[in-house]
Amino acid sequence: MAINVPGLVSIIVFYLVILAIGIWAAWYKRRRGGSPDENNERIMVGGRDIGLFVGSFTMTATWVGGGYINGTAESVYTPGLGLLWTQAPFGYSVSLILGGFLFAKQMRKQGYVTMLDPLQRKLGKRMGGILYLPALMGELFWSAAVLSALGGTLAVIIDLDTEISVIVSACIAVFYTLIGGLYSVAYTDVVQLICIFIGLWLSIPFAFTNPAVSDIGTTAVNGPNWLGSWDSTQTGTWIDSALLLIFGGIPWQVYFQRVLASDSAKHAQIMSFIASAGCIIMAIPSVLIGAIGASTDWNATAYDGDPIAKSQEGLILPIVLQYLTPVAVSVIGLGAVAAAVMSSADSSILSASSMFTRNVYNLAIRQSVSL
């Protein structure tokens, strides 16, 4: 398959727009000046003046990454799983609610810079630095997952080499995060979340009306049964997975970075609740795409074979965009996936670097150094 030139052009334009917004945000906030300490705080926690509107967008966008939307569609589509076992939207949503009730206000009132600060204060600076390692591993694996989702999507829709797409995407996210810190990340997240919402919802009517797609209401109970089925012997596994998502989503610096950047403790809590609802809302189009994929006669499309037979369940979202929607719509959907990836990758980059700079380099290794 030759490279899809319109798709390639669209992704280049999208990256340039995101890069421009990131640079503008950095310039707009830096022209205010400030002392070195104020500038450092501005990079890590946005000067603690991120309002409710921008804060809610950036907190939601951080969770709704490429792995989130691709993985949700994959789980709904995969036989033996279905909607019943698609736990990430529910788990992350509950995680944000608990984080808002238990930690958001208290952390913001204390004026911490990272989630490791209270641990470092309690356990000592050296131990706090060691605790950076599991946090770093989480950020690395999360970034790898979302960038992999983008690479697979670009490979399906525009036949672009996966390694090239991942490297370029990561470099762009690193660049505007480096120059603008949390301001650039937050303002680009607003645009990225809008792109995700529009791009995915726009593709759904076209996929629904494709002649190869059966009524998803019928296939929900007959045939593929994308709703999933309950096996009482797996109850413990379901509960374990749910608890992992719920409590594993709380000790995450990208969450607390938004909480600590909020302009008030009350807004930090409200942002958590809004983002909780946002996670559920943003998962709906992915659920529908997974259901559409399960309801499709792939032999009646240009796709050669069946995604399950090819072990391509993880690519069902880009496959639906590519083979069940017009080219223009699939290109817009590609922008949605790219936006989802960038909104999570930039947050992980800033999160890991902030914790290393403050909690490891400054407080654990060189305690007398000036940031």
**220-266 pLDDT tens trace:** 888 778 998 888 888 999 999 999 999 988 888 889 988 988 989 99
Q: How far apart are CA 186 and CA 347, in angstroms?
A: 9
The answer to whether residue 363 scores a pLDDT higher than 60 is yes
Q: Residue 368: pLDDT band by 50, 70, 90 thresholds? A: low
Residue 79, classed as helix, strand or coil, is coil
Whole-number average pLDDT of the chain: 84
The residues facing 50 across adjacent strands are: 262
Instruction: List Cα–Cα distances, 57 to 50, 62, 145, 185, 239, in angstroms.
Output: 11, 9, 21, 11, 29
- Please indicate whether residue 39 or residue 148 has the higher confidence score (pLDDT): 148
- Tens digits of residue pLDDT in 119-164: 888 888 888 888 888 888 888 888 887 777 777 777 777 777 778 7
- Neighbouring residues of 21: CB distance < 8 A, sequence distance ≥ 6: 184, 187, 188, 191
For 214, other C-beta atoms within 10 Å of its C-beta total: 15
Query: What is the count of structural domains for the chain?
Result: 1
Region 3-29 average pLDDT: 77
Please indicate, yes or no, if residue 270 is contained in any of the structural domains.
Answer: yes
Task: Choose among 150, 184, 180, 182: nearest CA to 167.
Answer: 150
Task: Choose among 253, 272, 318: nearest CA to 45.
Answer: 253
Q: Residue 103: pLDDT band by 50, 70, 90 thresholds? A: very high
Please indicate, yes or no, if residue 130 is contained in any of the structural domains.
Answer: yes
Q: How far apart are CA 316 and CA 57, in angstroms?
A: 26
What pLDDT was estimated at residue 239? 93
Its domain, for residue 71, covers 44-297+314-365
In the chain, the N- to C-terminal Cα span, in Å, equals 51
Q: Residue 27: pLDDT band by 50, 70, 90 thresholds? A: confident
Please indicate, yes or no, if residue 251 is contained in any of the structural domains.
Answer: yes
The residues facing 213 across adjacent strands are: 296
What pLDDT was estimated at residue 91? 93
The answer to whether residue 77 scores a pLDDT higher than 80 is yes
Exposed/middle/buried for residue 360 (C-beta within 10 Å: 0-12, 13-18, 19+): buried
Which of 19-33, 144-158, 214-228, 287-301 is most confident? Answer: 287-301
Instruction: Output the six-digit token pair for 320.
Output: 């639906």
Residue type, 17: V
DSSP 93-162: HHHHHHHIIIIIHHHHHHT-SSTTHHHHHHH-HHHHHHTHHHHHHHHHHHHHHHHHHHHHHHHHHT---H
Please indicate, yes or no, if residue 303 is contained in any of the structural domains.
Answer: no
Residue 65, classed as helix, strand or coil, is coil
Q: Residue 351: pLDDT band by 50, 70, 90 thresholds? A: confident
The Cβ-side half-sphere exposure at 233, using a 13 Å CA radius, reads 0
> How far does Cα 109 stand from its chain's mean position?
27
Q: Identify whether the C-beta of residue 159 lies closer than 8 Å to the C-beta of residue 3.
A: yes
Q: Which residue has the tokens 């979340």?
A: 193
Q: What is the CATH number of the domain that holds 234?
A: 1.20.1730.10
Q: Which residue has the tokens 């958001």?
A: 104
Q: How far apart are CA 227 and CA 31, in angstroms?
A: 53
Least reliable range by pLDDT among 128-142, 174-188, 222-236, 276-290: 174-188
What pLDDT was estimated at residue 40? 62
Please indicate, yes or no, if residue 84 is contained in any of the structural domains.
Answer: yes
Q: How far apart are CA 179 and CA 151, in angstroms?
A: 25
What pLDDT was estimated at residue 281? 93
Give percent above pLDDT 90 in the chain. Answer: 27
The answer to whether residue 185 scores a pLDDT higher than 80 is no
Please indicate, yes or no, if residue 112 is contained in any of the structural domains.
Answer: yes
Least reliable range by pLDDT among 81-90, 137-146, 278-287, 308-317: 137-146
Which of 28-32, 43-47, 91-95, 215-219 is most confident? Answer: 91-95
What pLDDT was estimated at residue 154? 75
